[in-house]
Amino acid sequence: MAKLRATIELAAGGFLSQINRVEQASNRAAKTVEDVSASADKAGTSLDRAGKSGKKAKEGFEDAGVGAERARKKVKGLGDEVDKTKSKAEKVAGALGKLFAAKTAIDVGGKLLNASDNYMNANTRLGLINKDNNGNVINPNLQKEVYASAQRSRASYESTANGVASLA
């Protein structure tokens, strides 16, 4: 009986240490996800500010165009010069609007590429640990199980997959 009890205590102790290691890896992954989320929030705030600044600049140039139109009506003989100024102000406003739109599109595209790379990296790492020495798939449902685990723990799929891959 004492021998059986000692065997059970040894098995439980090894199992608990594995659970503790998984918990620590999960905590590190959750911290990384929180850090990435905070960085994304900061980047989003910066993009919002840039977009608002561009919109204000565009509105300012449009107001300049409206003012130029009023001045043209009041001052006879200078109409052609005012029309040219209005046209140039509208062109500048349009160019600035396009510039800010392009900057925003580039930033968003970069974030999408980064997210795609992270997802592919996580899946590749899972694929590497899910094959035996002969190249046969060990568990065909591994990705689904990792996804379900991520949902239960409210962590991202990528961080959970990387955590599982680092344990292997």
Does residue 136 register a pLDDT over 60?
yes
Report pLDDT for 38: 66
What is the Cα–Cα distance from 165 to 75, expressed in whole angstroms? 75
- pTM over 0.75? The answer is no
Quote the domain boundaries for residue 138: 2-167
> How would DSSP label each residue in 27-91?
HHHHHHHHHHHHHHHHHHHHHHHHHHHHHHHHHHHHHHHHHHHHHHHHSTT-HHHHHHHHHHHHH
State whether residue 96 is helix, strand or coil.
helix
Can you tell me the mean pLDDT for 111-139? 86
Query: pLDDT-based confidence at 145, cuts 50/70/90?
Result: very high
What is the Cα–Cα distance from 90 to 65, expressed in whole angstroms? 7
Report pLDDT for 132: 84
Does residue 151 register a pLDDT over 90?
yes
**pLDDT 10s digits, 2-42:** 666 666 665 655 555 666 666 676 677 667 767 766 666 67
Report pLDDT for 75: 60
Report pLDDT for 128: 86
**pLDDT 10s digits, 69-113:** 776 666 655 567 767 777 887 888 888 888 888 888 888 888 888
How many domains in the chain? 1
